Structure 1
Amino acid sequence: MNSRLSLLASLALGLGLPQVTVAQSWMPGFVSAELVGSWRTDRGTQMTALRVRLEDGWKTYWRAPGDAGIPPDWNWRGSANAAEITIHWPTPQVFESGGLRTIGYAHEMILPIEVVPADPTQDVWLAAEISFGICREICVPVLVNVQNLLQGPGEATPDIIAAIAALPEIRTGIAHCEIEPVLDGMRVTAKIEMPRLGPREIALFELAGVSSWVSESVNSREGDVLTSMVEIVPYDSRSFDLERRDLLITVLGGSRAVEISGCPI
């Protein structure tokens, strides 16, 4: 069962509990940020969600924001009994402006957050300092502090359930990559075997372990094979070995997304 289905299966448990947040000062475009909800999954992990609300016309960014976006940065100092923290990213939107492509969410962003407790018999105290960008005609950096006491069993609200339902489908073994060196980096050409997801398909590439710039993908489709090409250049311009297992490809099409981990030959 993939992570989306597993999380959805856990939502019917228990009673809701209050959350604690730190109020934020007003700035253009920004409304609020808070950790909302608390419930336990059938795997024994604790769940909550970050909800960011923006004024109409404003947007914020996905984990890989594209050409001009600001990626979120997380600092979990102050948390207690949190052995492992995983942020689940619902399917984002693609924005085109001034010849630049950015990836993110308009008006509101809800990110389910899953925590493995160090001691499963104790509550989790989750505290985060989060920096992220919001944009309209101008872009504004935002720094927020949010907190929540996570206790089980609990339950999720309908908007968090919808965010979990919007997580990408997880598939493996459907992408095969050719890799060749280019000036200061590597070119990756992936052939992804799957039916068309929807209109305006694009593929987004991420590379774990290497701080790098990734070009916009060039995409074409022939039948059930989507071909996507990007160039990856480390920010320090040093030579590097591109490990195929460290590639993460997310294909967006319409309102759907598929996430593919690893890209063998």
Structure 2
Amino acid sequence: MKPLLHPLALIATLLITPLAALAEDLSDVVSAKLLPGWRSADGTHMAGLEITLAPGWKTYWRAPGDAGIPPQFDWRASQNLAGAEIRWPVPNRVDQDGMISIGYSGTVVLPLRLTPSRAGRDITLSGQISMGVCEDVCIPVDLTLSATLPKDGTARDPRIAAALANRPDTQKEAGVTGVSCAISAGSDGALKLSAQMRLGDTGRDEMVVVETDNPKVWVAPTTSARNGNTLTAETELMHVEGSSFALNRQGIRITVLGGSKMVDIKGCPAGG
């Protein structure tokens, strides 16, 4: 079963301006709605969360980059819902004075793959969404949404379908022929992770993002270097409470963002 509460993540370097949130009419900055979508042949339901931002404003991907607010989703008030998974479309990168943020502007649809508790019945999807929206300042926003997703809905929504198509390449699709990770002691109790991947060029300004399946593990910004078809990425990981932790190699997720291609790599075994 997929968790219904998106795990909290550490917000490391972002200036939040609460007074701006009080001064702004947030409906002029961001709005969101649920797209009912369709019931798939396997019994799951494909819905969509459509977020619309005012010109000049942006919000963040699941890993927001050097500075940003990772979005959080709480679907626990829903009925007939056993699991919820977001299928993230390819985000954009924004360089702000040397700090890279990763996210979306304009209108973005986040496809939602939902598993009902009881097959063949409607799902009542009710969500609390916490996200950051930024222009010159960043404002934390809380949204409450609810919709009934009918069990007999079969018409595919082109907005959701387009977002599903705009996804990263898998390892196989990108021709990744080898992935391995070396783990060693880092500074101040952190773990140092060095990942090597064999894959072709993904375009200019290549960037690597490392995530883990432990919401209490903070991952430092990653440095990367390429030698032909070998891409090496290094980072440090630390428990947010300063305690020791075990790193699940299967729970490591590496995303390579290049100027022409984005690649999603899941799992990082030890080198041979």
The TM-score range, normalised by the shorter chain, is 0.7 to 0.9
Match of 1:174 in 2: 178
Contact 1:218 1:229 in 2 (8 A): yes
Match of 2:219 in 1: 214
Match of 1:162 in 2: 162
Normalized per residue, the structure richer in strand is 1
The structural deviation recorded for 1:170 is 2.4
Matches within 5 A, 1:129-148: 129-148=128-147
Match of 2:122 in 1: 123
Match of 1:232 in 2: 237
Contact 1:37 1:155 in 2 (8 A): no
The verdict on how the C-alpha distance between 1:118 and 1:231 changes in structure 2, with shifts beyond 3 A counting, is same
- 1:55-106 per-residue CA deviation (whole Å, 9 max, x = no partner) reads 1111100111122211111111321111111111111111111232211112
RMSD: 1.8
Q: What secondary structure, in the 3-state scheme, does the structure 1 residue paired with 2:197 have? A: strand
- Specify the code of the residue in structure 2 equivalent to 1:153: G
Contact 2:65 2:100 in 1 (8 A): yes
Contact 1:37 1:156 in 2 (8 A): no
The structural deviation recorded for 1:210 is 4.3
* In 2: Cα distance, 1:50 partner to 1:140 partner: 20
* In 2: Cα distance, 1:136 partner to 1:221 partner: 33
Contact 1:29 1:58 in 2 (8 A): no
Which residues of structure 2 form unaligned runs of 5+? 1-23
Matches within 5 A, 1:1-265: 26-27=25-26, 30-151=29-150, 152-171=152-171, 174-183=178-187, 184-265=189-270
The structural deviation recorded for 1:160 is 1.8
The structural deviation recorded for 1:254 is 2.1
- 1:120-158 per-residue CA deviation (whole Å, 9 max, x = no partner) reads 121111010101000011001111111121123333333
- Specify the code of the residue in structure 2 equivalent to 1:103: I
The verdict on how the C-alpha distance between 1:28 and 1:44 changes in structure 2, with shifts beyond 3 A counting, is closer
The verdict on how the C-alpha distance between 1:91 and 1:174 changes in structure 2, with shifts beyond 3 A counting, is farther
Which residues of structure 1 form unaligned runs of 5+? 1-24
The structural deviation recorded for 1:28 is 7.3
The verdict on how the C-alpha distance between 1:256 and 1:29 changes in structure 2, with shifts beyond 3 A counting, is farther
The structural deviation recorded for 1:196 is 1.2
Contact 2:36 2:148 in 1 (8 A): no
Contact 1:70 1:133 in 2 (8 A): yes
The structural deviation recorded for 1:255 is 4.8
Contact 2:30 2:53 in 1 (8 A): yes
Q: What secondary structure, in the 3-state scheme, does the structure 1 residue paired with 2:185 have? A: strand
> What is the total number of aligned residue pairs between the two structures?
241
> Percent of aligned positions with the same letter in both sequences?
37
The structural deviation recorded for 1:174 is 3.2
* In 2: Cα distance, 1:231 partner to 1:237 partner: 13
Please give the TM-score of this superposition, normalised by the length of structure 2.
0.83
Q: What secondary structure, in the 3-state scheme, does the structure 2 residue paired with 1:95 have? A: strand
- 1:217-250 per-residue CA deviation (whole Å, 9 max, x = no partner) reads 1111112111111111221121222221121111
Contact 2:204 2:260 in 1 (8 A): no
Please give the TM-score of this superposition, normalised by the length of structure 1.
0.85
The structural deviation recorded for 1:192 is 0.8
